[in-house]
Amino acid sequence: MNDMNTYDAIVVGSGPNGLAAAITLQQAGVSVLLLEGKETVGGGLRTAEITLPGYLHDICSAIHPMAVASPFMSKLPLHEHGLEFIYPDVAAAHPFDDGTAAVLKKSIDETARLLGEDAGAYTKLIKPLTKIWPEIAPDVLGPFHFPKHPLAMAQFGLQALTSANYLSRKFHTAKAKGLWAGMAAHSIQPLTNAATSAIGLVLMTAGHLKGWPVPKGGSVSIANALASYFVSIGGKIETNSYIRSIDQLPASDAVLFDVTPKQLLQIAGDRFSPTYTKQLQRYRYGMGVFKIDWALQEPIPFTAPECRNAGTVHIGNTIEEIVEGERLTAAGIHPEKPFVLLAQPSVFDATRAPAGKHTAWAYCHVPNGSTIDMTSAIENQVERFAPGFKDLIIGRHTYNTLEMEAYNPNYIGGDINGGIIDLRQLYTRPAMRWSPYTTPAKGIYICSSSTPPGGGVHGMCGYHAARRTLHDVFDIDIQKD
């Protein structure tokens, strides 16, 4: 559209949403330049040797149910660009103090059967959602609008908009309640908040339909495949291009920023109206995370055998313990027994560690901006359900919230979701506008996880922002998936 020395659109930031935005624009015939501040693309999709040589650790995200459930990413030929997913037989396990565990497996019936008395309640809750998910996924994973399938969306919404604590009343056993609480705790907010059921329902549904896969070679494999596909269709990537001001950018018809409101104000705030600026300034970030990566002599010796075969392990025991821990964290307190999310990819992917050795990854939620070292608290929680775990540690690397933010500026105060996704910010992130991806400045858009549908490696924020840009700037409308 423009001459050969310029680009029609520029995307700043190459996380999954920046890559998705760039791909969507380029697919529509718009020439795109993707700029990344670091040496490599990826954002939260990076893998590196941060403990010992030969031990590959996912710096941020590790397990990817939403990548394979995404209406956008699932349609890309990423396998042709080196991406291979590995599917653990047990997607997620949830151990209890009595040595047993609840599990999420691909089969609804098998998952339900292992819940005993709550088998019927689980099936009644989840099976209808798996049937309607293909219809509602584009609407659930997008901005607020009148849905294409209103009755199906209403069926989902009636459950999703409740608090996870309230929805747990459908179950009677500690196993079912604990499994549910671990899923819902991915929302990174108190489980008494409205709409905390949404993320739990989506993750369980995705697990039954697609699984919770591990990318072979690490999460960087997803970023590399997305970047390779983008370049294959004519896109251009420049790394080591950290943008601090919009004035650094070459001329283009549109710029899309894969950044949160705080950085957007720093980069382009002088282009915005006072009203929009105030909305971005009032944008709320949520709890942060404290993360540990381990190099291990052997696999984690969980007491419950199901946990040894799980890609993800939710460590928090009962729903009561998890609810209380998340409540304390949101109140600015560091619980003695935090809820811990743990991934053990090397159990399934031998490329992650030297022969016979292993890696593992875990984090707990902490108050935003916390610098408290939670190493002991997290390792005590793992040891609680896997006696002997500490003796297997041969290397360790930790990130507190500020170190997470220094590594990835989008993680403000350690918030990996790009802002709290509570009812107030579910569809009004980052500001109250007809389209959340637009700004008052002509040609400037935001495509990060600070827009709907929020955090997760699905690319849908970037996809929807690109569609909006194509419509507004280039008079191109592409059919919604």
Ramachandran bin of 351, using left for φ above 0, alpha for ψ from -120 to 50, beta for the remaining angles = alpha
pLDDT for position 2: 44
Smallest CA-to-CA distance from 272 within 442, 55, 83, 85 is with: 442
What is the percent of the chain where pLDDT is above 70? 99
Amino acid letter for position 52: L
Smallest CA-to-CA distance from 126 within 69, 197, 196, 208 is with: 208
pLDDT tens digits, residue range 332-372? 999 999 999 999 999 999 999 999 999 999 999 999 999 99
For the chain, how many helices (H) and strands (E)?
A: 16, 16
Tokens of 317: 């025991």
**pLDDT(306) > 60:** yes
Contact 473, 38 (CB under 8 A): no
Smallest CA-to-CA distance from 293 within 92, 43, 49, 45 is with: 49
Q: Using CA atoms, how far apart are residues 95 and 381, in angstroms rounded to an integer?
A: 11
- Residue 375, H or E segment: helix 375-385
pLDDT tens digits, residue range 43-76? 999 999 999 999 999 999 999 999 999 999 999 9
Mean pLDDT of the chain: 96
E strands within 82-134?
A: 85-86, 90-95, 101-105
φ, ψ dihedrals at 66, nearest 5°: -80, -25
Q: Using CA atoms, how far apart are residues 27 and 33, in angstroms rounded to an integer?
A: 13
pTM of the entire predicted model: 0.96
- Measured over the CA atoms of residue 86, residue 87, residue 92 and residue 93, the dihedral's sign is negative
Cα–Cα separations (whole angstroms), residue 401 to 24, 46, 364, 413: 32, 17, 11, 5
Q: Using CA atoms, how far apart are residues 40 and 186, in angstroms rounded to an integer?
A: 27
Orientation angle between helical segments 16-27 and 220-232, nearest 10 degrees: 20
* Residue for token pair 């105060």: 413
**pLDDT(145) > 80:** yes
CA angle 76, 404, 362 (to 5 degrees): 75
Burial 381-394 (b: 16+ CB within 10 A, else e): bbebbbeebeebbe
**How much is the average pLDDT of 276-301?**
98
pLDDT tens digits, residue range 450-476? 999 999 999 999 999 999 999 999 999
pLDDT tens digits, residue range 210-228? 999 999 999 999 999 999 9
Region of poorest pLDDT, from 323-337, 375-389, 467-481: 467-481
Would strands 236-238 and 32-35 be described as parallel, antiparallel, or unpaired? parallel
**How much is the average pLDDT of 389-412?**
97
What is the percent of the chain where pLDDT is above 90? 96
Ramachandran bin of 270, using left for φ above 0, alpha for ψ from -120 to 50, beta for the remaining angles = alpha
**How much is the average pLDDT of 96-108?**
98
DSSP state of 285: -
User: Domains in the chain, ordered, with CATH?
Assistant: 9-48+61-83+215-283+411-474 (3.50.50.60), 85-213+287-407 (3.90.660.50)
**pLDDT(309) > 50:** yes
pLDDT for position 3: 42
pLDDT for position 480: 63
pLDDT for position 203: 98
